[in-house]
Structure 1
Amino acid sequence: MPELPEVESLTQFLAEHLVGRTVDRVFPVSVAALKTYDPPLTELEGRTFDGTARHGKFLDLRSGELHLVIHLARAGWVRWSESLSADQPRPGKGPLALRVRLAPAAGVDSGTQGFDVTEAGTQKHLAIYLVRDPQEIPGIARLGPDPLTGAVTQESFAALLGGERRQIKGVLRDQSVLAGIGNAYSDEILHAARLSPFKLAANLSEEEVAGLYAAMHTTLAEAVERARGLPLRELKAEKKSGLRVHGRAGQPCPVCGDTIREVSFADSALQYCPTCQTGGKPLADRRLSRLLK
């Protein structure tokens, strides 16, 4: 799933390639992905993009008073093209959900540049909105502060955690608490902070809160910096190569050499290092325990 660093990189890339460009045609291919109908997507045609922004994991492409907002969910992506087909795409079972073709720009191209919004797999959770105010979108309206904007100080971070009787892994992933952190980077942050993902947020010591705050900033900022300037097609591979524990169950921890372990849930899994994070003790995998009964 694209998280804060990847969406930030998408935002920066599209700021460089879209701002000042006029929309020629919009092709909504997936009706299921389109979550708003007024104004229609065709309202973008003839308008010029004048800004991009990120709200947590939401991508916001602005054209005057209109905002094309995209939530990429687990398997969505934006693909930039220098040579989009002139043919109108047909709705079907393929990954394409939306195509935006740009009008020719002097000295830039002959009218074939643009981007596709796609979603791989059979589970379709991609969401596309066209709104006049991003706060109209419930997922944006409920977002907590963004950890990379300076809105979260160490003191406010401690206050956020102080009243949470939930496991710290779940708190970090809760978009109403902190915007933009998902399953992968919560694993990475907790590994860097040397904290068990099962530890209750409210039980963290002052020293642990300070370490977690520093790990959160360092992990996210480094991921954004690694992705800076990369072509969109390389961002997913860069994310995977930069992860130290997430998605690496069974491999050696790059810090201590212990074997990275996994805890599975109904539709996701977390990865951690026992030596670095849990005092050498494996965490209970409840799904595995049920299978062994």
Structure 2
Amino acid sequence: MAELPDLEVFSRILNRRYSGKTLEKIDVEVAGKLNVTAKKLKESLEGHQLSEVKRSGKTLQFHFGRDRILGLHLMLRGELVALGEKPPKFPVLIFHFKGGKGFAVTDMQKQATPTLGPPVNEVPDALELDYPVLKKLLEGKKTTIKTLLMDQKKVRGIGNSYGDEILYHAGISPFSIAGKIPDEYVKKLHKSIHSVLETAIKKIEKENGDELTGELRDFMQVHSAKLKQTPKGEEILSEKIGGRTSYYTKSQELFH
């Protein structure tokens, strides 16, 4: 699943490639997840210029004007593919811009979700989260910190992979009770959220260049079924938290 760093890089690539171009046609290949009819989507966007692509949490937002915004959640298997000589496999939406360029949203599971006119989301984005907000968010919470970080109704953008990386970087066990984490470690957690995500964005951006390639994970220090040890030589353990496999080490402090 694409997480915040992947989507941030995708938004920058899409902006470089397509912002300022006019959408000539949009093909709706799978309409099941649309919140409007295919006809309404086409009427709203075709013939309008793409002014900007923004990332918001785990979604991309395509701005075709002040009141013409298309939100997109790639879900578990959704991908972005630049149009080439061969037609894309498993297309959901295909964007054709004047001048012959374009890209497709593909998903073999047909779960990628486009939303015309997405509502404003007041939940803080992980990269915009400041320390006082994070501290207040954790206060009194009895859930595990890993579960809280992944809750898109509390913080937007962090998924399973980066949740593990952030907690390892902060030295906090994913099994820690959120409300029991002392201020010293909440401050570490705040710094780790920004450090891990911003570092990942830089690494993915360098690797991807101008290509809309899939998620990059080979730089991760703890979240990988292939890894047995961290770069420091610590044994990597795994266990299910909320139905998702979490990776951690014994060196991470447990607060409960």
Q: TM-score, normalised by structure 2?
A: 0.89
2:131 aligned partner? 154
Matches within 5 A, 1:119-138: 119-120=107-108, 122=109, 124-131=110-117, 134-135=118-119
Q: Is the 8 A contact 1:249 1:262 kept in 2?
A: no
Q: 1:28-87 CA distances to partner (integer Å, 9 max, x unpaired)?
A: 1112232332872212221111112111011001111211211011111111235575xx
1:23 aligned partner? 23
Q: State the distance in 2 between where 1:12 and 1:250 align.
A: 30
SS in 2 for 1:277: coil
Matches within 5 A, 1:1-293: 1-37=1-37, 40-43=40-43, 44-64=45-65, 65-83=67-85, 95-104=90-99, 111=100, 113-120=101-108, 122=109, 124-131=110-117, 134-135=118-119, 141=121, 144-149=123-128, 152-228=129-205, 230-236=209-215, 239-248=216-225, 251-255=228-232, 257-264=233-240, 267-274=243-250, 276-277=251-252
Q: 1:200-236 CA distances to partner (integer Å, 9 max, x unpaired)?
A: 0100011111111111110011011112252334452
Identify if the C-alpha distance between structure 1 residues 242 and 235 changes in structure 2 by more than 3 Å, giving closer, same or farther: farther
Identify if the C-alpha distance between structure 1 residues 214 and 266 changes in structure 2 by more than 3 Å, giving closer, same or farther: closer
Q: Is the 8 A contact 1:250 1:259 kept in 2?
A: no
Equivalent position amino acid for 1:200 in 2: I
Q: What are structure 2's unaligned runs of at least 5 residues? A: none
Equivalent position amino acid for 1:146 in 2: D
Equivalent position amino acid for 2:13 in 1: F
Q: State the distance in 2 between where 1:130 and 1:153 align.
A: 30
Q: What are structure 1's unaligned runs of at least 5 residues? A: 105-110, 280-293
Q: State the distance in 2 between where 1:70 and 1:268 align.
A: 23
CA RMSD, Structure 1 to Structure 2 (Å): 2.2
Q: State the distance in 1 between where 2:77 and 2:174 align.
A: 24
Residue 148 of structure 1: CA displacement?
1.6
Equivalent position amino acid for 1:67 in 2: I
1:108 aligned partner? none
Q: Is the 8 A contact 2:79 2:107 kept in 1?
A: yes
Residue 267 of structure 1: CA displacement?
4.9
Identical-residue share of aligned pairs (%):
28
Equivalent position amino acid for 1:232 in 2: E
1:289 aligned partner? none
How many residues end up aligned between the 2 structures?
A: 250
Q: State the distance in 2 between where 1:156 and 1:278 align.
A: 22
When Rg is computed on C-alpha atoms for both structures, the one with the higher figure is 1
Q: Is the 8 A contact 1:39 1:130 kept in 2?
A: no
- Where in structure 1 do 4 or more consecutive aligned residues deviate above 6 Å? none
Equivalent position amino acid for 2:77 in 1: A
Structure with higher RCO (Cα < 8 A, 6+ apart) = 2
SS in 2 for 1:75: coil
Q: State the distance in 1 between where 2:159 and 2:168 align.
A: 14
Q: State the distance in 2 between where 1:267 and 1:153 align.
A: 29
Q: State the distance in 2 between where 1:168 and 1:22 align.
A: 44
